[in-house]
Structure 1
């Protein structure tokens, strides 16, 4: 029996699906709400399939409710990096760009890919992620209002200051909610205390690391986390030509951003990372490359510390 794959292209208000079996497609679209989820499952049941794989892109908040619903119904669902689908489309010289065509593309990708079953975030990690992203949004709104204040007419400065006061209060409340959430969860509290022992890592960065290094991801080594963060080196070399080595950037941009300033602090105050950075500097490496290396080292340290359950030890040498 041939493998049956279902490609799902997610949008805000609806999602397109393409069922691929024996080289033929069946297409449908449903509303991206609970009723649409139920209609989609009924549509799948009409085929009477027992062996099928459902694949969708990681599209953030728009796709998570559907993925969670499908997992609860017992379906094998893979949520893959959109960059992988895009690269697969380029390998096919795909030209069409519609929701229907994208669903078919995802179904074809699922047919040849080695996919892993997606698992929803544990409740405690999902709450922490939501609170952390809320802080990001509040900081962005605060920055925008402060920029407006610099050139604002005097008639609206009072209004802007009022909004800034509200944002400041909400930031404090949300950060306190993060602190309380971690403090009241024994496992998160234990991991947080371990991460806090790393020089250069502060409470703001710890929240990102707790989400990124959650055991639910199933990482077996730190290199996988580095790749997921988009910090793995992308080497450019062909024959005699040697291009610049950059980071891949195909991963968690939030984690990269959260690690940048801590990496600079660790460069000065973390003995393990300072030694590495000074060695790279002596070899003529530029500051940006050194900072990226420090970010990777922080991930390695955090992964090793959480895995071992032991706090930072400057004499510990990573393999």
Structure 2
């Protein structure tokens, strides 16, 4: 494994990171940066892709900018399953983005034998995954509207809610 291991806790707006030495597991640096391509690319200029490895939780679309930048710059990085990380740590006291970044980096150091570098899927596969996710969301929304429509049709027997039923039928047709 490389000399520096950087654990990154991803959130919608920011990336908290913790850099550990691979041999001594000592904190070398910590910080926070914006979760945007421009800020990430500027930050990555500080690292050498032959000496640094990144570890991050698999957070879906919140980590997309980071994954894209790491891939373009040819860095080795690991996407770690959140459940696997939590199980390996056991019961932990305190939760913060800073602590999570440290725990991710520490997990990567201690479990390096289990980890495999992540490779971005082909563009078409990525697009297909996005379409499947969108479809799942639309199906859930459709079911919610159908259930609400049924409930309002029952309610309409005692209270006049025809306008509400009409609007929900429009929503359902739109979905």
* TM-score tier (shorter): 0.7 to 0.9
SS of 1:96's partner is: coil
C-alpha separation in 1, matches of 2:142 and 2:2: 54
Distance 1:131 1:2, change over 3 A: closer
SS of 1:144's partner is: helix
Alignment of 1:283-298 (within 5 A): none
C-alpha separation in 1, matches of 2:58 and 2:95: 18
CA-CA distance at 1:166 after TM superposition: 1.0
Distance 1:136 1:49, change over 3 A: closer
What's the TM-score, normalizing by structure 1?
0.48
Alignment of 1:155-234 (within 5 A): 155-167=163-175
Structure 1: segments with no counterpart, 5+ residues: 168-319
CA-CA distance at 1:155 after TM superposition: 1.9
Q: Which runs of 4+ in 1 moved over 3 A?
A: none
2:58 paired with 1:58: yes
Match of 2:156 in 1: none
Distance 1:143 1:74, change over 3 A: same
Structure holding more helix per residue: 1
CA-CA distance at 1:123 after TM superposition: 1.1
C-alpha separation in 2, matches of 1:101 and 1:79: 18
CA-CA distance at 1:133 after TM superposition: 1.4
Match of 1:24 in 2: 27
Structure 2: segments with no counterpart, 5+ residues: 153-160
Match of 2:158 in 1: none
C-alpha separation in 2, matches of 1:2 and 1:52: 5
Distance 1:132 1:28, change over 3 A: same
Match of 1:154 in 2: 162
Please say if residues 18 and 107 of structure 1, whose CA atoms lie closer than 8 Å, have aligned partners that are also in contact: yes
SS of 1:63's partner is: helix
C-alpha separation in 1, matches of 2:140 and 2:32: 35
Q: Higher RCO, 1 or 2 (CA under 8 Å, sep at least 6)?
A: 2
Match of 1:75 in 2: 75
Please say if residues 49 and 76 of structure 2, whose CA atoms lie closer than 8 Å, have aligned partners that are also in contact: no
What's the TM-score, normalizing by structure 2?
0.85
